[in-house]
Structure formats: C-alpha cells, structure tokens
C-alpha cells in the first residue's frame, strides 16, 4: 500500500508563449533553473521574458548582468519586443544589478585563491541578496554564469562554490533563472560542464541546421518535480515575444 500525501507545487509563468503547458504550469516556485545555449540562441530574451512576465503580474524581479551593460540589455530587449524596461524600473517592478568582473593583479597562492573564491561567491551572493531584499523580488535572473564558471579553475571547487550560490538563492525564496553559454561546437550543457548538476531544471536553447536554414529550438532537458515534455520544440522570436511553435501546426 502506498502512503499518499499532498505535495503542492506552486508554479511561475515563464513569459514564453506556449511553454508553460509543457512544464505543468511553469517554473517551480523557489527553484533555481538553467537556461543553456550557444551564443545567439536567445538566452537573454528568454530570461528577460521571465522577469517581464512577472512584472506584468505585479511580481518584482531582479535582473543581474555580469557581462553586458544595463543600458545595452534594455535597448536590445526594447528593440526586439518593444518592452519599456525603464518604465518598469520606475514602477519598481524590475531592478537591474550589474556585477562587472575585474582583472586581479596580485599573484596568488592556492590558499589565497580558495580564499578569493569564497569571497567572490560570498560577495556576489551578498550583492544579489541586497538587490532582492531591496526590490522584494520574487524572480531573479543571473545572465550569465559563464565568467563565474571560468573564474574557478578547479572542477571540485567550482561545483562546491556553485552549490553554495544555489543554496543561498533558495533561502531567499526567489525563483531564479541562470544563463549558461555553451561553446559553438559542443554538445555540453554549459561551458565547464558543472553548473547543470546544481540546478533544478535545464532548458536548452539551440540553433541547428535544417537543410540550408538554421532553426531555433527548445528542449526541456531536466525538470525536478515535473512530468515535463521531452520533445524538441521549434521556437520563434517575434515582435510579440518568444513563442513555442506547435509541432502539429508545421506538419
């Protein structure tokens, strides 16, 4: 005899048209998720759709950028979807945080490097924590994790440091999207092949050759607590946002 209990799983809209139904309603509340893809597959547009969709429903979000300038992100998204993120920012529904890397100039021992990694992850989390608390955010995006992965050379340390970052995010009661960039000719899920082990779900965006054209696709590669679609879904980036194309429609 099975002992059945009720495990309610709250979901958050993804902001991608047609995607929520393939993941039982959306991202699991409180989960930390990876959006993985090669350059130019739409990771920024995908993760901003999550923030914007929340903001439209009154859920404040924080967008952390580690590589691009905040104004560039706003302009890219504005020209792509016509979304006025500055207006959202004024309404305190969207906050931006820029964490720029710097070049270390001191030679370091292994001790010091381990110390630096602890400080780096601690500071990063501290800044994100402050931004989340200030915004009373329910959604957070870190775009992207690539530099952080590159910074930590040792595979063991990288995995442990990323585990600690993910745990900190979970205690903050936000739902998070992390983006990870995959090298062009790779079948991996992230640059270093580590971050995928510490997240609750992985959505893989791709840009693949089909005869003489390249097509955008989306695959839900893993999703905890969710009986998810395992299809490779065609994807379209339109003026009205990102859209999953129903396979029945194209056949």
Give the footprint of a second copy on residues 31-70 (CB under 8 A): 39-40, 56, 67, 69
249 binds a second copy (CB under 8 A): no
For a second copy, the binding residue among 70, 172, 237, 245 (CB under 8 A) is 237
Question: How far, rounded to the nearest angstrom, does the alpha carbon of residue 223 sit from its chain's CA centroid?
Answer: 14
Minimum distance, C-beta of residue 137 to a second copy, in the bound complex (Å): 20
CA dihedral 37→117→122→145, nearest 10 degrees, is -10
Burial of 251 (0-12, 13-18, 19+ CB in 10 A): exposed
CA dihedral 223→197→6→50, nearest 10 degrees, is -50
Nearer to a second copy, 139 or 192 (CB): 192
The answer to whether the beta carbons of residues 14 and 158 sit under 8 Å apart is: no
Q: Please state, in angstroms and rounded to a whole number, the distance separating the CA atoms of residues 13 and 86.
A: 22
Residues 117-136 that bind a second copy (CB under 8 A): 117-118
Residues 166-185 that bind a second copy (CB under 8 A): 167, 170, 181, 183-185
Nearer to a second copy, 130 or 246 (CB): 246
89 binds a second copy (CB under 8 A): no
Burial of 176 (0-12, 13-18, 19+ CB in 10 A): buried
The answer to whether the beta carbons of residues 161 and 117 sit under 8 Å apart is: yes
The answer to whether the beta carbons of residues 28 and 201 sit under 8 Å apart is: yes
For a second copy, the binding residue among 21, 57, 87, 92 (CB under 8 A) is 87
Minimum distance, C-beta of residue 144 to a second copy, in the bound complex (Å): 8
The answer to whether the beta carbons of residues 14 and 211 sit under 8 Å apart is: no
101 binds a second copy (CB under 8 A): yes
For a second copy, the binding residue among 11, 17, 127, 159 (CB under 8 A) is 159
The answer to whether the beta carbons of residues 34 and 203 sit under 8 Å apart is: yes
188 binds a second copy (CB under 8 A): yes
Minimum distance, C-beta of residue 128 to a second copy, in the bound complex (Å): 19
Minimum distance, C-beta of residue 134 to a second copy, in the bound complex (Å): 23
Minimum distance, C-beta of residue 62 to a second copy, in the bound complex (Å): 19
Minimum distance, C-beta of residue 29 to a second copy, in the bound complex (Å): 11
Q: Please state, in angstroms and rounded to a whole number, the distance separating the CA atoms of residues 213 and 181.
A: 22
Q: Please state, in angstroms and rounded to a whole number, the distance separating the CA atoms of residues 155 and 27.
A: 28
Q: Which segment (11-19, 57-65, 101-109, 134-142) binds a second copy by CB under 8 A?
A: 101-109
For a second copy, the binding residue among 58, 109, 248, 249 (CB under 8 A) is 109
Nearer to a second copy, 127 or 215 (CB): 215
């Amino acid at each position: 005899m099975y002992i059945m209990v009720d495990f309610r799983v709250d979901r958050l809209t993804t902001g991608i048209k047609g995607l929520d139904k393939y993941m039982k309603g959306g991202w699991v509340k409180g989960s930390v998720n990876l959006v993985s893809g090669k350059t130019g597959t739409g990771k920024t547009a995908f993760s901003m759709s999550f923030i914007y969709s929340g903001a439209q429903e009154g859920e404040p979000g924080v967008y952390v950028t580690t590589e691009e300038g905040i104004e560039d992100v706003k302009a890219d998204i504005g020209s792509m979807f016509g979304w006025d993120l500055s207006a959202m920012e004024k309404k305190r529904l969207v906050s931006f945080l820029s964490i720029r890397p710097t070049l270390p100039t001191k030679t370091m021992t292994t001790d010091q490097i381990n110390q630096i990694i602890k400080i780096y992850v601690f500071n990063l989390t501290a800044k994100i924590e402050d931004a989340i608390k200030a915004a009373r955010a329910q959604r957070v995006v870190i775009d992207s994790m690539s530099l952080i992965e590159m910074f930590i050379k040792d595979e063991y340390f990288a995995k442990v440091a990323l585990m600690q970052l993910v745990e900190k995010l979970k205690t903050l009661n936000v739902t998070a999207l992390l983006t990870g960039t995959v090298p062009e000719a790779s079948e991996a899920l992230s640059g270093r092949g580590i971050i995928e082990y510490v997240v609750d779900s992985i959505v893989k965006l791709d840009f693949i050759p089909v005869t003489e054209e390249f097509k955008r696709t989306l695959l839900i590669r893993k999703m905890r607590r969710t009986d998810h679609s395992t299809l490779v879904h065609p994807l379209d980036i339109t003026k009205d946002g990102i859209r999953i194309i129903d396979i029945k429609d194209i056949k």
